[in-house]
Chains A and B, each alone.
Chain A
Amino acid sequence: MNAESGIRLAPVNGISALSHLFPAQKEQHINCYSLNLLLFSVCGVHFGVDAGQVSEIAVYAGEQAEDLFWFHEELEYGAAAAAVTYLSPTVVTIRTGRVQSYRVVIDSMEDIADFSQNDICLFPALLEPFTLQNGLWGILPRDGRMVLLVDFKRLLMHRHPELR
């Protein structure tokens, strides 16, 4: 269990390699929310999810299950979906507050780190109607890249009302 994020690491071979990703230091921000983000990428697009929404992380071992979804399918990669490949697929289990679990296969986990709300930008008004309904709620500019912040609970509500 990671003390800061509350994520339980599944006892799967190789998962201990993820331990170096957890931050050693935590920035303090006064009068400002901070967000513990799990950062990953799928097919070159960078994402961040509130680590508080994730209850478990495990290496994907090739299983198929009704409650297991691939991230690029959940986010409607559209025509780009045909070219999506996962280099190091990882299963994250999302806290839904329900009996039925919601598990999503993500790729290329990079880091889990704290960020200030001041680091987060809104989506331009023109894009927000499209992004919000797919769980994308903010942007974290980082190292010259744009990390898209995804709220798995919003995504779940939009994609799987049956799991709500």
Chain B
Amino acid sequence: MGDRGAGIMSPSDEKPKSELILDELKRRQRTKVVVDVEEERVKVVIFICGVNLYAFYGRDIREILSSCDISWVPSLPDYLPGLINVRGDIESVIDLRHFPGEVKDEGSKRLIAMAVLGDFRSGVLIDSIDDVVDIPLSTIHPPLATLNGAARDLVIGEIEYGGTTISLLDIGKLAAFVAL
């Protein structure tokens, strides 16, 4: 019995080929899952300003205000159209169209994206929201070298969206630019 058992067990010391392959496939699958989890993703808010699409990091946008009266204040530069009252908090508003040099259409109804980054907080006037998406960090490419003017100072990267390349604007750069 002992001899026969030893004889049967002997081949089982080596794993069947199917099990080896199965183990390998499972190991690869686990590795792939780990890779997918580690791929850092960021939320971006894609919006229309003028005739073009732009994006902000979603983490920098606290909320989108659909209807807000802007109180004009004398002596402010053109890119600061005035003040808004957000549930009792008085906030500034920046007209983003001033920077990329977009055409102004005063008649259209616009939205205000409330941007908060560190000590900086302000409403940013935009035309409409197109989408909010999660994208892999690796898909954000460096800004185009051909950008010029104020847009170059605000753009932190380029992303692909809907078959087109759009500029990812940085709230931190906007804050620094406006504060100059």
User: Does A130 contact B90, Cβ atoms closer than 8 Å?
Assistant: no
User: Does A124 contact B91, Cβ atoms closer than 8 Å?
Assistant: yes
B20 sits at the interface (CB 8 A): no
A37 sits at the interface (CB 8 A): no
Count of residues in B whose CB is under 8 Å from the partner chain: 22
Q: A124-B91, A126-B178, A127-B83 are contacts. A75–B74 as well, Cβ < 8 Å? A: yes
A62 sits at the interface (CB 8 A): no
Residues of B within 8 A of A133 (CB): 75
Interface centre among B75, B94, B175 (most CB of A within 10 A): B75
Minimal Cβ-Cβ distance residue in A for B94:
A126
A63 sits at the interface (CB 8 A): no
Name the prevailing secondary structure of the B interface residues.
Answer: mixed
The smallest beta-carbon distance between B94 and chain A, in angstroms, is 8
Residues of B within 8 A of A134 (CB): 74-75
User: Does B77 contact A130, Cβ atoms closer than 8 Å?
Assistant: yes
Residues of A within 8 A of B121 (CB): 124
Q: A124-B122, A126-B179 are contacts. A139–B83 as well, Cβ < 8 Å? A: yes
Count of residues in A whose CB is under 8 Å from the partner chain: 24
A131 sits at the interface (CB 8 A): yes
Q: Which of A72, A122, A130 contacts B76 (CB 8 A)?
A: A130
23 A-B Cβ contacts within 8 A?
Answer: A45-B71, A45-B74, A76-B74, A76-B75, A78-B74, A123-B92, A124-B92, A124-B122, A126-B122, A126-B175, A127-B80, A130-B76, A130-B77, A130-B80, A131-B75, A134-B74, A134-B75, A139-B83, A139-B90, A141-B85, A146-B83, A146-B85, A148-B74
Which of B's residues lie within 8 Å of A, judged by CB? 71-77, 80, 83, 85, 88, 90-92, 94, 119-122, 175, 178-179
Which of A's residues lie within 8 Å of B, judged by CB? 45, 72, 75-78, 80, 121-127, 130-131, 133-134, 136, 139, 141, 145-146, 148
